[in-house]
Amino acid sequence: MCGIVAYVGPRDAQPILLDALGRLEYRGYDSAGLAILNGHGVQVRKKSGRIEELAKACRAKPVEGRSGISHTRWATHGAPTDANAHPHLDASGKLALVHNGVIENYLELKDRLAKAGHKFASDTDTEILAHLVGDCFSQNQEKGEVRLIEAVRKALKQVQGTLGIAVIHSDLPGLVVGARRGSPLVIGVGNGENFLASDTQALAPYTNRVVILQDQEIVALHADRFEVASPLGQKADVRVEEIENGVTASDKGPHPHFMLKEIHEQAETVRNAFRGRLDADEATAKLGGLNLSSEDLRRVERIFVLGCGTALHAGMVGKYLIETLAKIPVDTQHASEFRYGDSPVHEKTLFFAVSQSGETADTLGALREAKRRGFRCLGICNNVSSTIARESDGGVYMHAGPEIGVAATKSFTSQVVIFTLLGLLLGRQRSLSAAHGREILEALDKLPDQILALLQESASIQRAATAYAKARSMLFLGRLANFPIALEGALKMKEVTYIHAEGYPSAELKHGVIALIDKETPSVLIATQDGVYDKNLGSLQEIKARGGPVLAVAHGDDAKVAGLADVVFRVPRTHELVQPILNVIPLQLFSYHMAVTLGRDVDKPRNLAKSVTVE
């Protein structure tokens, strides 16, 4: 969602901040701004719209200076306007602040500050925080940088909500103060220069050495040093880590959009998800990162999967896989509902929190709630240095590489592969035969080549997208493990095309959904051959009998489906339990090509954010 970048060092800050903000575009935003100390006070430039609008403003009226803060905003309080864009100034105009998160008691704080004579220029909760920090600064009698640090600490004690902030003050050139509570912040450690960012992707060209701030910590950042303190002001222990440099991965290469690039990367990312984790001799999977012994795993009697959006859909496929292979009951729930609900949980339950970024606020909150109840919690995420990865008791790293497109594609298939491995591992510890286990292993091993073959169907899928681009609503239908694939297909369509789309179990047609069928409403039916194949054929005929167009995902040699459906998305044949990984790919391509046909901003859909770090 919102992104923060700060710089202090010997170089001109403006081009560095603009470049780093550009590397956060994938997170989703609606305005951007920066504030730089130029020796004559705080100079602010901010604009609604894309970062290019901010860059134009900076080219028209450049700001020179060697320290500054910058921000991309995803609106929570106030419309996306120039006035509401960050940074925000305090009452003196000397302090500038950028903020990720939500201040839940901002109205109470605003009322108190207004009674003290403060005037506000925006509708945001962030401006209230800037005034609050500035007020604490003006009342503080400390000297030097301690004055700003203590002002931030005092202000945050009065604030309810999540935040990651960066603050500068014209009286303290060469200093950036940052603080974290719930919203991620990392220090980028350079050579005679230092950075602060909400995402390591912003730091890729500048440094691969980072310090990840823990919750409640405050950092004082200078060009040649930094100091991290605990909430009580005690010096914190820090560890400088080296991260993978994402510059190459951030390039679209020959593809026009990141979404298409990442769809085409799935042969590689699926292989990365199972590389080194297949045990052919024992016909099982190896997942050492779970930090659980065989005895621990055998004692698990239930599993609970938490996630949001695409990650939850992957968990729903995982439910089917684990229940089928290991005969362990699996519950799946929206993380946002679990964290505030009263769901009863069996005492021998193992939790999985699924998140591509590892920073999803609702999933992190649900994980913390499960841990508070005393349950063991494992993470499935793509960022080994993320909060969920750090706070989990163990887990599985996806190895998918950076996913820049807002609409998740390769992360979904990687997550489903990991759930397949989990099902295989747990199943082999119970009643799953070695022969059946080897069938799963062989199917996984063949997946990358099958994905490459499937991607050759892109041109025919593009033709179908052109034909149906005028649809105002669509239905996506599937059964068993393909029901969550239908949900995921509908979500992709909504996200990148803005066409209304819904996913249902295909048997639900007769229970109300069939009322929506007409010649203007296409239905996408997943009808690969499995235990409910004949039932799906019946659903297809019911739709056709009512004049509804049908686009079917089916095996390439399936003459029955080809004779009934208007369009067939052909997929290779594999093991029934692995088939959903292949079935989702034509739905990803279909949504992508529909979005391109409609002229949508594919990689940055309206109103959406890649990493949802607020509730």
Burial class (CB in 10 A: 0-12, 13-18, 19+), 534: exposed
Q: What's the rounded Cα separation, in Å, for the pair 35 and 44?
A: 4
Q: Is residue 242 a contact partner of residue 208, using CB atoms and an 8 Å limit?
A: yes
- CB atoms near residue 244 (< 10 Å): 14
Burial code of 278-289, b = ≥16 C-beta within 10 A, e = fewer? beeeebbbebeb
For residue 139, give both structure tokens: 């009342």
Whole-angstrom CA distances from 101 to 10, 125, 180, 340 are: 30, 9, 10, 19
Cβ pair 6, 43 in contact under 8 A: no
Which residues share a beta bridge with 190? none
SS in 3 state form for 351-372? EEEEECCCCCHHHHHHHHHHHH
Q: CA separation (Å) from 532 to 317, 409, 527, 537, 566? A: 16, 26, 9, 9, 21
- Annotated active-site residue 610? The verdict is yes
Q: Is 136 a catalytic residue?
A: no
Residue 546, CA distances (Å) to 475, 519, 522 in order: 14, 8, 12
Q: Which of 2, 136, 377, 381 is catalytic?
A: 2
Q: Outline where 499-578 has alpha helix (H).
A: 533-545, 559-564
Rg (CA), the chain: 26
CA distance 153 to 253: 45
Residue 590, token pair as written in the block:
């279909």
DSSP label of 482: G
Q: Based on DSSP, count helices (H) and strands (E) in the chain, helices before strands.
A: 19, 26
CA-to-CA dists, residue 354 to 380, 381, 557, 562, angstroms: 5, 6, 35, 37
Q: How many CB atoms lie within 10 A of CB 496?
A: 28
Give dist(CA 582, CA 412) in Å, integer.
11
Token pair for 279: 């045990």
Question: Active-site residue among 47, 94, 410, 610?
Answer: 610
Distance, CA of 523 to CA of 476 (rounded, Å): 6
What is the Cα–Cα distance from 162 to 317, expressed in whole angstroms?
A: 32
Residue appearing with tokens 């493990």: 481
Read off φ and ψ for residue 130, nearest 5 degrees. -60, -45
Locate 537 and state its tokens. 């054929």
CA–CA gap between residue 356 and residue 610 (Å, rounded): 9
The residues annotated with a catalytic role in the active site are 2, 610
